[in-house]
Amino acid sequence: MQPARLRRSKMFDADPEGRQRVLQAAAKVFFEKGYEGASIDLIRAEVGGSRRTLYRAFGSKEGLFAAIVRASIEDALGCLTEEAQRHQSLDATLLNFGRGLMYALLTPTVLALYRIVVFEAARFPELAAMFYFSGPGHVAKRLARVLEQRQRLEEIGPVDCNIAADQFVSMIRGNLHLAIVLGLRPVPEDPDLEVFLAQAVGNFVEGISVKHRRLS
């Protein structure tokens, strides 16, 4: 059993496209059937392969849901590594992270998961907790560590970095996001998103009040 398991997990590691295909198929099934109606078998019917492979790679339906969430925020989190931040201003780091987060939130997959989990939390509390702590809670926590580091360098004032990180993540997930979740407007074009992101970073870093503007 052990060698087989190793071989299979290695196969998925070496095949990110295959993994991506499984996650996309899973998201489609979750969207069409709801969380309760979805099953590993239905997902397998979309992508083929063996039941055992899917179970080994993801553990369960819940594990697949978590894997989709985690995969979606990889790019955003990648902007927060020390290496990515090297020689980068706070504004640039926030802009890159915010962009990664915004694009993740606006993919059809994540929009679908968000709609599902918001309602299913009552019936599937573990799913809801897993979603929160692998997604929105996790990105905020990672951003908070970055803000603390910048605070030690005296780039930012004595704010509570956990709260500030929550605020920034939430600015990105504001009414624009809600209107898209509700199907009331399409995802804006990239240049419009860039403008929105730059404004969010500016308002978050410097505030809107005139007398507190940076003197640079």
Partner 1 sequence: MSKAKTPARAVGKTRASAAGRARSAEILRVAAKMFFKHGYAGASIDAIVAEAGGSKRDIYSEFGGKEGLFAAIVRDNLNTALGTLAPAADESKSLQETLLEFGMGLAEVLSTPTGLNLYRIIVSEGTRFPALAKLFYDSGPGLVANKLAEVLEQRKRAKEIDVADCHAAADQFVGMIRGNLHLAVILRIRPAPRPDELQAFVSKAVSTLLHGIVSSRKA
Residue 185's closest CA among 111, 135, 87? 111
Q: Which of 3, 17, 86, 122 binds partner 1 (CB under 8 A)?
A: 122
Which amino acid type is present at position 46?
Answer: E
Q: Which of 23, 95, 159, 188 binds partner 1 (CB under 8 A)?
A: 159
Question: Could you give the CA distance from residue 207 to residue 166 in angstroms, rounded to a whole number?
Answer: 16
Question: Could you give the CA distance from residue 22 to residue 13 in angstroms, rounded to a whole number?
Answer: 13
Neighbours of 59 (CB within 10 A): 13
Handedness of CA 132, 134, 140, 144 (dihedral sign): positive
Q: Render the burial of 61-91: b for 16+ CB within 10 Å, e for the rest.
A: bebbbbbbbebbbeebbebbeeeebeeeebe
Q: Which of 1, 189, 191, 209 binds partner 1 (CB under 8 A)?
A: 209
| 156 lies in the site for partner 1, by CB under 8 A | yes
| 179 lies in the site for partner 1, by CB under 8 A | yes
- Interface stretch with partner 1, choices 18-26, 54-62, 102-110, 201-209 (CB under 8 A): 201-209
Task: Kindly identify the residues of this chain, within the stretch 8-37, that bind partner 1 according to CB under 8 A.
Answer: 34
CB of residue 66 to partner 1, shortest distance in Å: 14
Please identify, using beta-carbon distances, which residue of 6 and 129 lies nearer to partner 1: 129
| 153 lies in the site for partner 1, by CB under 8 A | no
Binding site for partner 1 (CB under 8 A): 34, 114-119, 121-122, 125, 128-129, 131-132, 136-137, 140, 147, 154-160, 163-164, 166-167, 169-179, 181-184, 195-196, 199-200, 202-210, 212-215
